[in-house]
Amino acid sequence: MTKNTFDEIFEKIKEYPTIILHRHTSPDPDAIGSQAGLSRALKAKFPDKKILCAGENDEGDLAWINTMDEVSVDDYKGALVITTDTANTPRISNKNYDKGDLLIKIDHHPDVDPYADMSYVDPEAPAASQIIVDFLNAENLPITKDVAYPLYAGIVGDTGRFMYPETTAHTFEVVKQLAETGINISEIARNISDVTFAQAKLQAAVLDYMTVDPCGAAYAVLTQKDLKDLGITDDQASVTVSTPGRIKDIKAWNVFVEKPDGTYRVHYRSKGPVINHLAEKHDGGGHALASGANAKDMDEVKQIFAEVVDVTKKYNEEHE
């Protein structure tokens, strides 16, 4: 949970002439949105500071939210580093994050890896972007149209368009404030929802490949050949993650996406069974109903799905 106050974090921000913001690898709208929203607000408040967004240029289809700056190792000398929406160190995009003078973590995932010198972690918040809005309001930092745009995108993305149970009345208060800046909320919704024809074909392939256990657990594996045949990048394949959840009887599922090195990116999703503790066993983590991890080979893929089947069966027994 929270270890430092917004005031304590803001005092550190005021001290440093260079601030570098990181987010997690294979970013979603909340990762880029929280990073970009905080960066833009700080730039507006402190025009004389050097404020940079660092990452591995893996924004993919989310470059419409924000793109990364060119950040050198020298930039980290005497710098303050802030991570947003990043639960553990293996998932921090750009591994120079530990070369600064001080590290601050702002996140909404369970704090399984308290890696920073200072932190504000609220696992009950539906999005890191919502925490950033609360921080900006608490410290009287500007929330302009430019600041609001990525933060709104982050909240829409991580709440599943306000469908997930973490969404609260406060969430709607926050998005109302952001919408009132004049951002184009329809444009943001379209950018998050739209898929290419090739991605739509890949979504259909997930349903074709899907294996469903009688308990309601399901999985599908996408190979590099599948992606290459359709001209889709690894990051673009993430559009398939929510596809199995549209089927009424499926309660928890995995989508495994093969990487160029033959390992697998693992996506966990659930409508009830808690799965984040499973992801933590496989070099990952996340939320109770949405997490990510990694698998080295098909043996680990099968092991992961067996674990999902097990928790789904237990969930069914508890809810009979």
Write out pLDDT tens, residues 109-161. 989 899 999 999 999 999 999 999 999 999 999 999 999 999 999 999 999 89
Q: Are residues 89 and 134 part of one domain?
A: yes
> Quick one: tokens of 41?
């607000």
190: pLDDT strictly greater than 70 = yes
Query: By C-alpha distance, which of 191, 190, 209, 192 is closest to 201?
Result: 209
Q: What is the CATH number of the domain that holds 21?
A: 3.90.1640.10
**pLDDT for the residue numbered 11:** 98
Does residue 1 fall inside a structural domain?
no
Q: Are residues 80 and 167 part of one domain?
A: yes
Query: By C-alpha distance, which of 315, 308, 314 is closest to 252?
Result: 308
| Angle of helix 128-138 versus helix 29-45 axis, rounded to 10 | 20
Query: By C-alpha distance, which of 271, 264, 267, 278 is closest to 308?
Result: 278
Mean per-residue pLDDT over the chain, rounded: 95
pLDDT band at 1 (very low <50, low <70, confident <90, very high): low
> Quick one: tokens of 97?
């994050």
CA distance readout (Å), 85 to 70, 78, 120, 168, 317: 21, 23, 11, 19, 33
pLDDT band at 284 (very low <50, low <70, confident <90, very high): confident
pLDDT band at 2 (very low <50, low <70, confident <90, very high): low
**pLDDT for the residue numbered 285:** 82
Write out pLDDT tens, residues 37-60. 999 999 999 999 999 999 998 888
> Quick one: tokens of 67?
């793109």
Contact at 8 Å (CB) between 93 and 38?
A: no
Q: The whole model's pTM is what?
A: 0.86
Q: Which domain holds residue 294?
A: 197-318
**pLDDT for the residue numbered 164:** 84
**pLDDT for the residue numbered 212:** 97
Contact at 8 Å (CB) between 129 and 151?
A: yes
Q: Are residues 131 and 51 part of one domain?
A: yes
Q: What is the CATH number of the domain that holds 259?
A: 3.10.310.30
Tally of CB atoms within 10 A around 317: 9
Domain edge (last residue) among 140, 169, 192: 192
Tally of CB atoms within 10 A around 246: 9
Q: Are residues 99 and 63 part of one domain?
A: yes
Alpha-carbon gap, residue 162 to 240, rounded angstroms: 19
